[in-house]
Amino acid sequence: MNETELEVIKEKIILQHEGDEKQLEVIFSDRPRLIVEAPAGYGKTTTMISRIAYLFATGGVPNPKRILGLTFSVNAALKVKREVAEKLPDLLGKQNNPASLGKKVYVTNYHGFCKGVLKKYGILLSSALRKDVNLFKAIGDGDISRNSELRNFLPEAEIRVVLDMESRVKEAQNPDEETIKRYNQIIANKLLPLGYITHNAVILFVHEIFINFPEVCKFYQSYYPLIVVDEFQDTNCIAWKLLEFLITDKTKLVFLGDPLQRIYGFIGALPDVMDVAATKYNMSKIALAKNYRFRNNPEMLKLDNNIRLNAASCFSPDITDTANLPAFLGKTQKSEANQIALKVKEIASGSINKVAVLFRNRSRGSEIIEECIAENKIPYFYGMFKDEDADYVEFHNTCLEFFLKRFGKAKSIGKKTLVAFADGMKKVYGTKTNKTYDSLIILLYALIEKLSIDYADLPAEDKYNLFIDIFENRQLKQAMEYVNSQVILSTIHGAKGLEWDYVLVADVEQWAFTFVCGQCPSRNSSSQNYCRLPQVIPDGMKKPILDDLCVFYVGLTRARKQAYISASLERFNAQGRQFNNGKVCCLPLIHGIKLIKGNSIG
Give the per-residue pLDDT at 534: 93
The answer to whether residue 293 sits within a structural domain is: no
Q: End of a domain among 287, 313, 332?
A: 287
The answer to whether residue 419 sits within a structural domain is: yes
The DSSP code for 181 is: H
In terms of Cβ atoms closer than 10 Å to its own Cβ (0-12, 13-18, 19+), residue 586 is buried
The answer to whether residue 132 sits within a structural domain is: yes
**For residue 379, cis peptide bond before it (omega within 30 degrees of 0):** no
Do residue 106 and residue 216 come from a single domain?
Answer: yes
Do residue 104 and residue 217 come from a single domain?
Answer: yes
Q: Residue 282 is part of a domain; what is its CATH number?
A: 3.40.50.300
As a whole number of angstroms, the distance between CA 131 and CA 192 comes to 10
In whole angstroms, how large is the CA radius of gyration of the chain? 25
Do residue 279 and residue 411 come from a single domain?
Answer: no
Domain count, the chain: 4
CB-CB neighbours of 404 under 10 Å: 19
Do residue 478 and residue 496 come from a single domain?
Answer: no
Q: Is 537 helix (H, G, I), strand (E, B) or coil?
A: coil
The answer to whether residue 143 sits within a structural domain is: yes
Q: End of a domain among 211, 231, 251?
A: 211
Q: Is 197 helix (H, G, I), strand (E, B) or coil?
A: strand
pLDDT along the chain (602 residues), means of 10: 85 94 97 96 93 88 84 78 79 60 82 96 97 91 89 93 96 95 97 95 98 98 96 95 98 96 84 96 98 94 97 96 97 96 94 96 94 98 93 94 88 92 94 92 96 84 88 92 96 94 97 90 80 93 95 97 96 80 93 88 43
Give the per-residue pLDDT at 602: 40
Torsion angle (degrees, nearest 10) of CA 29, 269, 188, 406? -80
Instruction: Label the pairing between strands 323-330 and 196-198.
Output: unpaired
Give the per-residue pLDDT at 576: 78
Q: Encode 406-420: b = buried (16+ Cβ within 10 Å), e = exposed.
A: ebeeeeebeeeebee
Do residue 494 and residue 420 come from a single domain?
Answer: no
Do residue 103 and residue 216 come from a single domain?
Answer: yes
Give the per-residue pLDDT at 433: 84
From 505, 596, 533, 39, select the one nearest 313 (Cα to Cα).
533
Q: End of a domain among 262, 287, 312?
A: 287
Backbone angles phi, psi at 174, to 5 degrees: -65, 120
Q: Encode 275-303: b = buried (16+ Cβ within 10 Å), e = exposed.
A: eebbeebebeebbbeebebbeebebbbbb
The answer to whether residue 157 sits within a structural domain is: yes
Do residue 96 and residue 119 come from a single domain?
Answer: no
Q: Residue 463: give the domain boundaries.
A: 390-482
Do residue 496 and residue 580 come from a single domain?
Answer: yes
Give the per-residue pLDDT at 101: 61
Do residue 593 and residue 489 come from a single domain?
Answer: yes
Do residue 17 and residue 76 come from a single domain?
Answer: yes
**For residue 64, cis peptide bond before it (omega within 30 degrees of 0):** yes
The answer to whether residue 532 sits within a structural domain is: yes
Do residue 11 and residue 104 come from a single domain?
Answer: yes
The answer to whether residue 385 sits within a structural domain is: no
Do residue 411 and residue 521 come from a single domain?
Answer: no
From 464, 476, 403, 400, select the one nearest 197 (Cα to Cα).
400
Q: What does pTM read for this prediction?
A: 0.92
As a whole number of angstroms, the distance between CA 570 and CA 262 comes to 30
The answer to whether residue 347 sits within a structural domain is: yes
